[in-house]
Amino acid sequence: MPYLGSEDAVRELKKALSNPHMIQGDRLRYRNVIHKVIRHMTHGDDVSSVFMEMVKASATVDIVQKKLVYLYMCTYASQKPDLALLTINTLCKDCTDPNPMVRGLALRSMCNLRMPGIQEYIQQPVQNGLRDKASYVRRVAVLGCAKMHRQQSDVEIDGALVNELYSLLRDPDPIVLVNCLRALEEILKGEGGVVINKPIAHHLLNRMADLDQWGQSEVLIFLLRYKPRSEEEIFDILNILDTYLKSTHVSVVMGATKLFLVLAKDFPHVQSDVLARLKSPLLAACTSESREMCFAALCHVREILRSSPGHFSNHYKKFFCSYNDPHYIKNQKIDILCELVNDENVQCILEELRVCCTDVSTQLAHTAVFAIGRIARTYSEKCVKILAGLLEYKQEHITSAVMQTFRDLVWLCPQCTSSVCQAAPGCEENIQDQEGKQALIWLLGTHGDLIPNAPYILEDYADNVKAEISPTVKMELLTALVRLFLSRPAECQDMLGRLIYYCIEEETNMVVRDRGLFYYRLLSSGINEVKKVLSGPKSDSSLGVLADRTDQPVNSWVAVFNTLAPLYDKRLWESFRANSGRCELPIVRNPATKSFIEEDFHTALDSEAPQEPAAGVTLVSDVTLTPELFEKKWVSLTTDHCWDIEWRKDAEPDLLQSSLHVLNIYTIAKSKAGIQPWKSYLYAQDSKENVFLVELILCTDSYSLKATVKQDKANEAALNDFISLLQQAVSAVLELSK
């Protein structure tokens, strides 16, 4: 018997599919053979040699057999494009079948065929499917529009097709409505996505009750693009959304919450009320059996705690670690517990963290120890007692983490110095890693006057310096001995001399040798000079105050709420955004979308859709300019145009950056957030190789944007077109910020 995937097995399948007696006489056995072909295909075996036989098998009234055959053809159509064309007639015929399931299946299969020249065959069936009486066929046809556009993304967008998709937003079937939004978003991706103006927004709000939970989540995301014109309209929308804050589906609750927070950005009391109502769904998600959902919920809890530190204080036990939690969830819970500490729960939270410090995972134990150190900035006495107790375990990784925490704690909270110095002696035998040694040596050198046996501990390190591998430990030892020498010279003089001699004469690492030479020359200049150099502060208590920290407003993080941003590190997420090449907010709109709004919703896009860019300039996307070349050009060129624009207080300059990127105007440098005045330098190149350099300066005190444009070639017409495009982009951003 041939094994699965062998050539003999495929040959037997081909022979069975070609058997006329089985085809005509035994339909069930024929279907079973097709099942075997699909089984081979899903195992990764190459069964493309039976393509012709499978094409013949598509001519059947058995819908199960059709599904299997169409699945096979969609998989191998790109490998057999010539033979796949033979199935087009069958598929087109099935698109007119009386059975809507057959029509939808045929249309979906046609749109999934990945082969050249297929677009001319599927265009008419897709258009017919958009007008089909069966809702299932319309669902498939709407998504087929997006698939068709992706296969020919270089072709200009069909305005009539876009208009028809907009009109289908009023389709009685709710799934068709949601699919239309997704398809329009894909088709108009290069122009900012689907337009949501007042009539469409109100229509979507009225249809929310008909949608399933995933459809409601999608619609809530699209509704974020609508900007209500009046306070009355805002509260009308909020009243409609109030029901969805009580949904049993956490995705709907999160989407409704974000929409609430965005619309109520000028009403802090409304935002506070919404966050209070979000507490229960988030806590339920934090205890979900789905680890992915639990992690996402915990990350969003941390976002909320940025503006409301005590928001979840009464529910701190929900964030205690479970034995079967993975390490990434435990880390999030520990970070949240540090934010929830207050006078009432500090003892319970510290006990929970103390248990985590003895976890079998070294990484989790370190995280828990460092978390206790963070809490110790406010509750130093209790935390130092717990940390000192952890030293009794004599575990290497625990002792090392405690020493690092002690070092930071002494620097941040000087009042802990005496307690730490009492606990430090005796730990040197249990520390083997580099970070732990450095922390202990720093403590012995900086506060050795409070530790009776500090010189003798350092002497052991100095005697074994030849066996030490890490150069940073050697340099820390040098500095510590010099510091301790100033307070206890008699006990340190001899070993300091031996250590400096070793570093200068025998050490092979040049950094350590240079440090030794530096201290030798410094000591040669006199003890007073040494004291001047090493008389720096031993602590900085201003960094240790946590109770007086300023809470961030809700509007500072609401933009990333219910997105992937809270799940990533901030810098990592910004790099993703920079490399994605996609912009959530629109700048360029297709004029074809306007006719639908006028004809079917009896209104125009008016100010909500920015105008098309000037037709006289075409900026290329494949242009790169190094910072050095930009600076050289900027200095050498003269200013061709300069103007001031009145800037709106609530307009974000980063929105302008993203909008210009869509127009192929790229940023080469910009100011960090919060720096005043805000500056940005941009460049672009048109199809005639004219390079434009732009400087934007935003002064927040006067709210004016100063734009300076330079051009490397004298072309007044191209310059005027580029300036017009730039002005339209700025005006569009200001309009969207209203």
Q: Rounded CA gap, 528 and 518, in Å?
A: 16
| Paired strand residues for 686 | 619
Q: 634: how many CB neighbours lie within 10 A of its CB?
A: 17
Once rounded to an integer, what is the mean pLDDT over residues 455-462? Answer: 91
Q: Which residues contact 701 (CB under 8 A, 6 or more apart)?
A: 676
Out of 61-70, 396-405, 574-583, pick the least confident: 574-583
pLDDT of 602 above 50: no
Q: What is the pTM of this model?
A: 0.68
pLDDT at 5: 52
Residue with more model confidence, 349 or 638: 349
Out of 24-38, 157-171, 182-196, pick the least confident: 24-38
Residue with more model confidence, 678 or 20: 678
pLDDT level of residue 597 (50, 70, 90 thresholds): very low
Show the tokens assigned to 539: 């602590």
Residue 469 is classified by DSSP as: -
Q: Which range in 32-46, 174-188, 421-435, 652-666 is most confidently predicted, on average pLDDT?
A: 174-188
pLDDT at 138: 94
pLDDT level of residue 700 (50, 70, 90 thresholds): low
pLDDT at 512: 92
pLDDT > 90: what percent of the chain?
Answer: 32
pLDDT of 658 above 60: yes
Q: Rounded CA gap, 394 and 64, in Å?
A: 68
Q: Three-state DSSP class for 12?
A: helix
Once rounded to an integer, what is the mean pLDDT over residues 233-256? Answer: 91
Q: Rounded CA gap, 185 and 189, in Å?
A: 6
pLDDT level of residue 288 (50, 70, 90 thresholds): confident
Over residues 549-559, the pLDDT tens digits come to 446 788 788 88
pLDDT of 545 above 60: no
Q: Three-state DSSP class for 148?
A: helix
Show the tokens assigned to 505: 């004469």
pLDDT level of residue 139 (50, 70, 90 thresholds): very high
pLDDT level of residue 727 (50, 70, 90 thresholds): confident
Q: How many CA atoms lie within 13 A of 97 on its CB side?
A: 23
Residue with more model confidence, 414 or 732: 414
pLDDT at 697: 86
For the domain made up of 610-736, give the CATH fold. TATA-Binding Protein (3.30.310)
pLDDT > 70: what percent of the chain?
Answer: 88
Q: Three-state DSSP class for 645?
A: strand
Distances in Å between the alpha carbon of 365 and those of 316, 331, 369, 399? 20, 10, 6, 11
Q: Within its chain, how far is the Cα of 42 from the centroid?
A: 33
Q: Rounded CA gap, 665 and 315, in Å?
A: 49
pLDDT of 248 above 90: no
Once rounded to an integer, what is the mean pLDDT over residues 412-432? Answer: 87
Q: Which range in 117-121, 138-142, 636-640, 659-663 is most confidently predicted, on average pLDDT?
A: 138-142
pLDDT of 718 above 70: yes
pLDDT of 409 above 50: yes
pLDDT at 17: 80
Q: Rounded CA gap, 118 and 107, in Å?
A: 12
Q: Rounded CA gap, 219 and 208, in Å?
A: 8
pLDDT at 178: 94
pLDDT of 21 above 70: no
pLDDT of 2 above 60: no
